[in-house]
Amino acid sequence: MKVDVRNNNVEKALRILKKKLQQDGIFNELRNREHFVSKGEKRRKAQAAAKRRQEKAIQKRFEDFGF
């Protein structure tokens, strides 16, 4: 990954780098690797995430179409 520093503005380059890392999911992966997570816990988290996605889709469909 490469970020150009323009006009010696390192702060702006750092913000751009953090944004790129966030979009790639690097921070989430680092957070997940900090400690061991059992298979059951991974499964529960995956199911909870799927439920959140489903509820969000239902809510969006309700707002768009009214049913």
Convert the pLDDT of each residue in 10-42 to its tens digit. 999 999 999 999 999 999 899 889 999 999 999
**pLDDT score recorded for residue 50:** 98
Q: Classify residue 13 as exposed, middle or buried by CB count within 10 Å of its CB (0-12, 13-18, 19+).
A: middle
pTM of the model: 0.55
Angle (CA) 44-45-47 rounded to 5° is 65
The pLDDT of residue 52 is above 90 = yes
Structural domains of the chain, count: 2
- What's the pLDDT score for residue 1? 81
Shared domain check, 53 and 28:
no
Q: Is 27 found in the same domain as 47? A: no
pLDDT value at residue 21 = 93
pLDDT value at position 32? 86
14 lies in the same domain as 26 = yes
Whole-number pLDDT of residue 23:
93
Amino acid at 57: A
Q: What does the chain come to in residues?
A: 67
First to last CA, the chain: 44
